[in-house]
Structure 1
Amino acid sequence: MQTVSRSFTDFEIGETRTTTGRTITEADIVLHAGQTGDWFPHHVDAEWCAGQPFGQRIAHGTLIVSIAVGMTAGDINPRAFSYGYDKIRFIRPVHIGDTITVSAEITGKRDHPRRDDAGFVDELVTVANQDGETVLALTHIYLVER
């Protein structure tokens, strides 16, 4: 990781970045189930899943959100802070053994309604599987100093 110092005016609408891949493992799913208490059979019961339309275990959507956000957090910017996430959509299932990559694009900038020293930057985060299919999309909102 490196430290960068980008202010609100340094972000350009349309700029993009893409991560390398990361393969989702059974250990990822089991650890996430233990951390969240979400032991629904869709995620952890291979026999039950075999009889379902999706045919195999699926990763928790919240696990994929967490991994995707972590994959895009390569630089530390002390002038920008995560403000939250909007429009999170779980578009396709992610299975054990799938490899995901993350693309992020700056799609919007706007003034903070009460602070002259900050603004909001929107980043569209799109997660794709090894077949190039979009599995998840969200908007990451940053609060950024001017």
Structure 2
Amino acid sequence: MRGEDKKIINELLHNNGFKSLTLEDLGELNLRISKEAKLPKFDDWDWFIGLDITIHDTYSTKIYLNDFEIIETETREFRRKSFKARLTFQIQDHFGLDINDMNGKIFELSSWFCSWLILQRYKTYGFKPFINEANFCTWIE
């Protein structure tokens, strides 16, 4: 996602003349990232190491803009504006299957996966999902 979020922030800053971001700018940034950026997903059918089947998709992703700085560089020949930003990602997923995992995929044709879904979701069997969470920060410039 790093290339997409950097592109969106860069376009937003270019359009406002590299001024400080207003609340309206931040709202537009939030809207564009939620519509245009591809969130982390293991969707390449990698069955060998098991990522596709264990953490193939995320249930919740929050992105925080923690630090933001506009950098101006001036020489005799040109004047350049750029930015440096620190983004924090909080990604959550539940272990197991849900309806979206099954519908429209080959999994719904497998009795093994259907049984797994029932065992995980049937309240009489003591349905108790657990959440995996990953948090990390990254700088973009």
Which structure's residues are more often strand, by fraction?
1
User: Do the structures match in fold with TM over 0.5?
Assistant: no
Which protein has the bigger helix share? 2
TM-score (norm 1): 0.37
- TM-score normalised by the chain length of structure 2: 0.38
